[in-house]
A and B are shown apart, each in its own frame.
Chain A
Amino acid sequence: MNRRDFIKMGALGGVIVLTRPSLIDQKLFAHDGRLYESFEKVQLVDEEGTPIKASALEVDVDYIFQYPHAGTPCILLNLSEKSEVNVELKDALGDIYLWSEGVGKSGSIVAYSAICSHALTHPNKSESFFAYVPKGKASAAIEKGGAIVCSSHLSSFDPRNGGKVLGGPADQPLASIVLEHNAQDDTLWAVGVLGSAKFNDYFNAFKTEMDRDWGGKRQAKKLVKISAPTVKLTKFTKEVIQY
C-alpha cells in the first residue's frame, strides 16, 4: 500500500486509525512512514515511575516527556477547554492528514513533538524557547495567546487544532504524539507520531547537546520502552525563555 492510497483510505476509514491507533503496527506509509508512524506503546509516568492520572494534570501547564526516542522531547498539555475534533492538517509538502482530538474525560489533553517544525528549536535541559502561552496572555508571536510558541523565530501553533500553524515561519504543523487514555484507570499512553517529524535532522543538528543531555547521539536515539517519565517543563529545564 503506498502512502497516497493510505490517505484515501484514511479519509474513508480514518476512524480506525484515529481512535485505536495502537492497533496499527508498523508504518502506515510503507515507503517513508512520514505521516503516521506507530512506536511502542508507552505509559506516561511521573519521576518516581507512578502512572500519571489524566485528571491530575494541571491545566495549561507544560509537561515534558521523551518520545519516541530517549532524547526527543514532547510537550503534554491539559488545555482549559476541549480540543477541536477531526482537524484537517497539511504538511509542508501539501499532504493532508487528519488529527482526531484531545483525550481524557474532557477531551482536553494533547501532546506534540516539542521540536519546532520550522528550525528544530526545542526544550533542552538548560533552556527552552518552546512553551505554551495560555489564552489571554500576550506574546510577541501571537496577540491573544492560546498557542504553543517557539520564541526563537516566533512560530506559533494551535494545540486545540492538531498543532496547526497560527503564525511565524513554520510551514507545517507540529508533529503530534498520538495518545490513548484508559478511561478505567485514567492512565495515559503514547502510541505513535502523526505528521511530519524531523527527528533525523534534530539528531544531526545538536551533537553537542546530545552529549551533554543524553550521553551521546546514539543514546538519545534509543527508542523509549514501557514508560516515559513526564515532568513539568520548569522542572525539565533550567530556564524557560518566552516572548
Chain B
Amino acid sequence: MSMTRRDAFKVAGATAAVAAAATFTGCAKAEGAAPAVAPSQSHVTLMPKSKGKRVVIIGAGFGGLAAAKYIRKQDASIEVVVLDRRDIFMSCPFSNSLLGGLEDVTLDTLTRDLYAGAAKYGYRLEQCTVTGIDRASKTVMTSCGSVDYDILVLSPGIDYDYKGQFPEWSDEKIRHVQQQAPAALMAGSEHLALKRMMDNMDGGNVIITVPAGKYRCPPAPFERASMIAAYMKKEGIEGKVIILNATKNIAKGKAFKEVWADKYSGLIEHRDDCTITDIDLTNNKIHYKQIVGVDKEEKEIVETKVESFAVLNFIPKNKANAVVAMSGVKTNAWGGVIMNGASFQSKDDKHVYAIGDVVGHGVPPSGQTANWTAKEAVKEIVAQLNAHEPYKLNLPYSAANVCYSMVTDGPEEAIMVTHDFSFNGTVIAAKATVPHPKDGDGKYRSKGLAKATREWYRGILDDMFM
C-alpha cells in the first residue's frame, strides 16, 4: 500500500493526540495548556505513582538544579523530578556584565539548556506551571498533570510585589510598568528589554529604584548602576544614573561609594529614603517622596519630588514566589518558609524543604547561598529518605557566601563581600565582611577581583550543569 505524505501526517497527528490525551506528557506550552488541565482533574497524572523515594523540586534555578544533581549523585535510588515554567536557564548572577557591555559577555554567557544536567545525572525535568500543592496527599498539581512526592523541595525564587507596593494600580498598569520599566531581578525578557533600552538611548538619565525589605541579590541595583555608568561612559551617552533608594542601605556600601567617587563622579547619584509614589510612563517621569531631614520637633521633613528618565529600571518590593503559599506551610511576613531550626526542612511539615530565596533564614538571597542551601538540604533529605540519623548542618560556617560585583570596565575591576553563617537559636544568620583585596592598592576594588568574578561565575554554573 502506498501512503502519501499527507496520510502519514494524519496518522502521526492522531497518534500524537492520543498519546497526549492519555498521559499529558509532551506538554510543551505550559501557559497555553493550563486551562485544559484544571487542578480539579487530579486523575491526570504527569507520571506514575512514586515507589517511595521521589523528590519533587519546584524551580530550576541556582538552588533547584544544584539540589537535583546532588541528590542523584549521593543516592541514585532516589527519583528526582524538577518542575519549572521556563524552558531555558538564564542566570541573574553576572547579568549586569551584559548591561555593562563587558568583553565577550553575550546572551550565551548567561544561558544554558536545562536538559544537560537532567541527562547527565538522570533526573526528570518537566516544563510546566505549578497550579496547586496538596500536602495531605503529597501531590503537586501542574499545567501538565499531577505528580506525587515523598519529599517536596520549594525553590521557586521570588515574585514582584507590585500589588503590595501600589494597591491602587490596575493589573494593566502593573503589566505596563513591568514591561516598560523592567525590574530585571528575574532572568528573562526583562534583562534583554533593559539592555535594548540602554542600547537605544542617546541621552538622559537612567533611574534605578531600590525597594525596602528583603529583595533578591542586595548588591544588584548598585552593581547595575556601576555597570550602566561604565556603559554610558564608553558610549559617550550624556546623562547620569540616579538611584532612588527606599532606605539608606547600600550592600557593600563602602566599596560602592568609593568607586562611585573615584570613577563615576557626577555620573552616579544615590538618593536616600525615597518612597516612589507613582510612575508616569507617558511622560517618562517618576514621582517620589524623600525624607530630607528632621525639624526642631524631630519630625521628618518630607519633600515631594519628580524626576525624568530616559530608561527606568523599576525594582518593586519582592516577596516569596506564590508557590510557597500554595503549599500552605507556615511562612514569615515576606513569605519565606519557617524552618525547623538550623535546617532547611519546613517547621510545619517534615516532607517539605525550602532552599534559595524562600528560606526563612537570615542568609543573603544570592546565587552561592542558593547553591549552599541546596547542598545542605540534600544531605538532610538523603538521610531522611534512607531513615538514617538526621544530618546536622555544619555551622558556624565562615566565608560561606562570597559575592562579587563588577564595578568598572577598561580595565575591569570588581569588589567583593563574604558572609559568615551561624545559627542564632532561631534562624541561620549572616555576618558580612567587605575586604580590601591584596592587589587593590588600598582600594576595595581590583582587577584580580574582576577575574575572580568571572571564575566564580564559571565555577558555579559548572557546578549545576557539569
Q: Do A and B bind each other?
A: yes
Establish whether residues A118 and B399, one from each chain, have CB atoms under 8 Å apart when the complex forms.
no
Take A140-B433, A152-B459 as given contacts and tell me if A241 and B416 are in contact as well, using a CB distance cutoff of 8 Å. Answer: no
- For B397, list chain A residues within 8 Å (CB): 167
Q: Interface size for chain A: under 10, 10 to 19, 20 to 34, or 35 or more residues?
A: 20 to 34
Instruction: Determine if B438 is an interface residue (Cβ-Cβ < 8 Å).
Output: yes
- For A141, list chain B residues within 8 Å (CB): 399, 418
Take A140-B416, A154-B418 as given contacts and tell me if A241 and B74 are in contact as well, using a CB distance cutoff of 8 Å. Answer: no
Interface string of A208-243 (1 = CB under 8 A from B): 000000000000000000000000000000010111
Establish whether residues A153 and B73, one from each chain, have CB atoms under 8 Å apart when the complex forms.
no
Take A129-B452, A167-B398 as given contacts and tell me if A243 and B459 are in contact as well, using a CB distance cutoff of 8 Å. Answer: no
- For A168, list chain B residues within 8 Å (CB): 399-400, 402
Instruction: Determine if B329 is an interface residue (Cβ-Cβ < 8 Å).
Output: no
Instruction: Determine if B238 is an interface residue (Cβ-Cβ < 8 Å).
Output: no
Name B174-215 residues within 8 Å CB distance of A.
none
- With the chains together, A177 CA to B466 CA distance in Å? 24
Name B37-67 residues within 8 Å CB distance of A.
none
Take A140-B399, A153-B368, A154-B418 as given contacts and tell me if A121 and B73 are in contact as well, using a CB distance cutoff of 8 Å. Answer: no
Establish whether residues A118 and B398, one from each chain, have CB atoms under 8 Å apart when the complex forms.
no
Instruction: Determine if A120 is an interface residue (Cβ-Cβ < 8 Å).
Output: yes
Interface string of B365-402 (1 = CB under 8 A from A): 00010011001000000000000000000000111101
Query: Which listed residue (B452, B460, B463) contacts A151, Cβ 8 A?
Result: B452
Instruction: Determine if B218 is an interface residue (Cβ-Cβ < 8 Å).
Output: no
- With the chains together, A167 CA to B58 CA distance in Å? 29
- With the chains together, A142 CA to B368 CA distance in Å? 18
Establish whether residues B456 and A153, one from each chain, have CB atoms under 8 Å apart when the complex forms.
yes
Nearest residue, chain B, Cβ from A149: B399
Establish whether residues A243 and B451, one from each chain, have CB atoms under 8 Å apart when the complex forms.
no
Instruction: Determine if B239 is an interface residue (Cβ-Cβ < 8 Å).
Output: no
- With the chains together, A93 CA to B72 CA distance in Å? 11
- For B402, list chain A residues within 8 Å (CB): 140, 153-154, 168
Instruction: Determine if A205 is an interface residue (Cβ-Cβ < 8 Å).
Output: yes
Instruction: Determine if A5 is an interface residue (Cβ-Cβ < 8 Å).
Output: no
Instruction: Determine if B253 is an interface residue (Cβ-Cβ < 8 Å).
Output: no
Instruction: Determine if B448 is an interface residue (Cβ-Cβ < 8 Å).
Output: yes
Interface string of A150-171 (1 = CB under 8 A from B): 0111101000000000011101
Name B111-168 residues within 8 Å CB distance of A.
none
Instruction: Determine if A46 is an interface residue (Cβ-Cβ < 8 Å).
Output: no
Most chain B CB neighbours (cut-off 10 Å) among A93, A116, A169, A201: A169
Instruction: Determine if B455 is an interface residue (Cβ-Cβ < 8 Å).
Output: yes
Establish whether residues A205 and B466, one from each chain, have CB atoms under 8 Å apart when the complex forms.
yes
Instruction: Determine if A84 is an interface residue (Cβ-Cβ < 8 Å).
Output: no
Instruction: Determine if A204 is an interface residue (Cβ-Cβ < 8 Å).
Output: yes
Nearest residue, chain B, Cβ from A130: B455
Instruction: Determine if A60 is an interface residue (Cβ-Cβ < 8 Å).
Output: no
Establish whether residues B466 and A140, one from each chain, have CB atoms under 8 Å apart when the complex forms.
no
- With the chains together, A216 CA to B455 CA distance in Å? 21
- With the chains together, A143 CA to B368 CA distance in Å? 21
- For A152, list chain B residues within 8 Å (CB): 452, 455-456, 459
- With the chains together, A239 CA to B438 CA distance in Å? 13
Instruction: Determine if B439 is an interface residue (Cβ-Cβ < 8 Å).
Output: yes
Nearest residue, chain B, Cβ from A169: B372
Name A100-122 residues within 8 Å CB distance of B.
116, 118-121
Take A153-B402, A167-B398, A168-B399 as given contacts and tell me if A201 and B462 are in contact as well, using a CB distance cutoff of 8 Å. Answer: yes
Establish whether residues A243 and B368, one from each chain, have CB atoms under 8 Å apart when the complex forms.
no
- For B438, list chain A residues within 8 Å (CB): 242-243
Nearest residue, chain B, Cβ from A156: B399
CB distance from A205 to the nearest CB of B (A): 5
Establish whether residues A142 and B371, one from each chain, have CB atoms under 8 Å apart when the complex forms.
no
- For A40, list chain B residues within 8 Å (CB): none
Query: Which listed residue (B437, B449, B462) contacts A205, Cβ 8 A?
Result: B462
- With the chains together, A211 CA to B90 CA distance in Å? 27
CB distance from B386 to the nearest CB of A (A): 11
Establish whether residues B455 and A93, one from each chain, have CB atoms under 8 Å apart when the complex forms.
no
Establish whether residues A241 and B451, one from each chain, have CB atoms under 8 Å apart when the complex forms.
yes
- With the chains together, A239 CA to B375 CA distance in Å? 32
Establish whether residues A154 and B448, one from each chain, have CB atoms under 8 Å apart when the complex forms.
no
- With the chains together, A154 CA to B368 CA distance in Å? 11
Instruction: Determine if B328 is an interface residue (Cβ-Cβ < 8 Å).
Output: no
Interface string of A177-205 (1 = CB under 8 A from B): 00000000000000000000000010011
Query: Which listed residue (B74, B398, B437, B459) contacts A153, Cβ 8 A?
Result: B459
* Interface set of B (CB-CB < 8 Å, partner A): 73-74, 368, 371-372, 375, 397-400, 402, 416, 418, 433, 435, 437-439, 448-449, 451-452, 455-456, 458-460, 462-463, 466
Q: List 14 A-B contacts (CB under 8 A).
A: A93-B73, A94-B74, A119-B460, A129-B452, A151-B452, A152-B452, A153-B456, A153-B460, A156-B399, A239-B448, A241-B448, A241-B451, A241-B452, A242-B438
